[in-house]
């Protein structure tokens, strides 16, 4: 009924990415956190070996990610499972670095889900070029984060173009991206039915970077404010075309993106928690209090045991949500469950690890202190824990009309 083993491909990916995380990512992580940037030579190396943030479908010249790609022995697609396995291992190496990898990033899923064939070729095909390039996803606004339905960026039709006005914030790789998927509304009175998604290309007049954020954690990852001031976008850049938006497809496109990306974000949280847990286990074996290893004390044992079982439970939730996505089963509830549980678990695990390690866990320029700063945002971005619980409860109580 349930197979807990990795396929040959999954295990190969896990081992390869772990080796890379241990030997290439960990050595640069602390310096990248201090300088707030990833070395150019590392980005070039990543590009050369084919690692990217988000798959590029074979139909546009990439290595995979299209329908029917990379099937398991039962004939089920396994792209999402491969993604969460790789995400955990890379985040184990360093969570900020994984967000800086070249590729379509969070902008890739909406293009794959909503885009026409021509748009996929045009906007995803660029990632087959030898130079490192980035895509980005522009949904969050100063007054609309978790409340996605409340976006205020406007899109006004002007002949065969749209004029976009508004501000997007906390956009990963927003300043370096070749294009950004920008969500806007053509009519706020229509609510979600008024949402549209536009491909806004770097260099478009009126499209500018407002500021780069100074953050508590993930400091090597670029997080930008983007300003749209009468940005003129051709209707060919309306993702999916006019016919796609009969009903609430713009909003649903944004939500479907989260169904595939939330398990990956949850997997990153698992990777960070696992890295910290492993460091705490080593510490408990090597450090002594009152003449014996601290791992001999019941309190320390309880903290480590609790961390281990929560990490393992989180990973299983992630794998279930990813398997459902691969099997093309509705997984909104399961994706939110994995994100809500794994992110909160990781925050609690890091707190327990710092408790085990004491002063050694909060010393600046040590990994545990860095991970402690990094982890909190995983309970916030891609939908806060509170939003995830609303999504879960709505799916559970879907037959209650007044809910």
Tokens standing for 383?
């939908």
163 touches 230 (CB < 8 A): yes
DSSP 54: S
* Whether residue 382 lies in the annotated active site: yes
Nearest to 225 by CA among 233, 235, 215, 217: 215
Burial class of residue 227, CB neighbours in 10 A (0-12, 13-18, 19+): middle
Q: How far apart are CA 136 and CA 180, in angstroms?
A: 5
Largest separation between any pair of C-alpha atoms in the chain:
80
From the candidates 286, 334, 382, 386, give the one annotated as an active-site residue. 382
Residues in the chain: 403
Dihedral sign of CA atoms 264, 199, 58, 45 in order: negative
260 touches 321 (CB < 8 A): no
Q: Which residues contact 66 (CB under 8 A, 6 or more apart)?
A: 57, 58, 59
Q: How far apart are CA 30 and CA 5, in angstroms?
A: 34
Strand ranges, E, within 213-249: 223-234
Nearest to 378 by CA among 350, 342, 351, 330: 342
Active site residues: 382
């Amino acid at each position: 009924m349930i197979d807990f083993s990795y396929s040959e491909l999954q295990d190969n990916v896990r081992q390869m990415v772990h080796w890379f995380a241990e030997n290439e990512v960990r050595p640069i992580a602390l310096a990248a956190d201090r300088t707030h940037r990833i070395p150019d030579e590392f980005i070039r190396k990543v590009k050369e070996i084919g690692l990217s943030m988000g798959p590029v479908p074979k139909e546009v010249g990439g290595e995979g990610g299209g329908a029917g790609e990379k099937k398991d022995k039962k004939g089920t697609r396994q792209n999402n499972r491969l993604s969460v396995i790789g995400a955990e291992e890379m985040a184990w190496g360093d969570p900020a670095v994984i967000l800086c990898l070249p590729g379509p990033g969070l902008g890739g899923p909406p293009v794959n889900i909503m885009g026409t064939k021509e748009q996929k070729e045009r906007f995803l095909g660029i990632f087959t070029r030898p130079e490192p390039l980035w895509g980005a996803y522009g949904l969050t606004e100063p007054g609309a984060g978790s409340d996605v339905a409340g976006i205020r960026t406007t899109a006004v039709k002007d002949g065969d173009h749209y004029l976009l006005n508004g501000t997007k914030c906390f956009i990963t790789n927003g300043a370096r991206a070749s294009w950004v998927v920008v969500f806007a509304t053509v009519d706020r009175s229509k609510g979600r039915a008024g949402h549209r998604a536009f491909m806004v290309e770097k260099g478009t007049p009126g499209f500018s970077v407002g500021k780069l954020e100074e953050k508590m954690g993930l400091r090597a990852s670029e997080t930008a404010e983007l300003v749209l001031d009468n940005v003129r976008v051709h209707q060919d850049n309306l993702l999916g075309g006019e016919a796609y938006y009969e009903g609430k497809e713009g909003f649903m496109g944004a939500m479907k993106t989260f169904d595939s990306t939330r398990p990956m974000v949850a997997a990153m949280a698992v990777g960070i928690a696992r890295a910290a847990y492993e460091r705490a286990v080593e510490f408990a074996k090597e450090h002594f209090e009152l003449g014996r290893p601290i791992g001999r004390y019941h309190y320390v044992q309880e903290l480590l045991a609790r961390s281990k079982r929560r990490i393992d439970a989180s990973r299983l939730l992630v794998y279930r949500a990813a398997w459902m996505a691969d099997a093309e089963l509705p997984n909104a509830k399961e994706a939110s469950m994995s994100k809500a549980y794994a992110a909160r678990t990781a925050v609690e695990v890091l707190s327990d690890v710092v408790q085990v390690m004491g002063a050694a866990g909060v010393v600046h320029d040590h990994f545990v202190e860095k991970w402690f700063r990094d982890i909190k945002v995983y309970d916030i971005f891609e939908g806060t824990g509170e939003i995830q619980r609303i999504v879960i409860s709505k799916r559970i109580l879907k037959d209650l009309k007044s809910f």
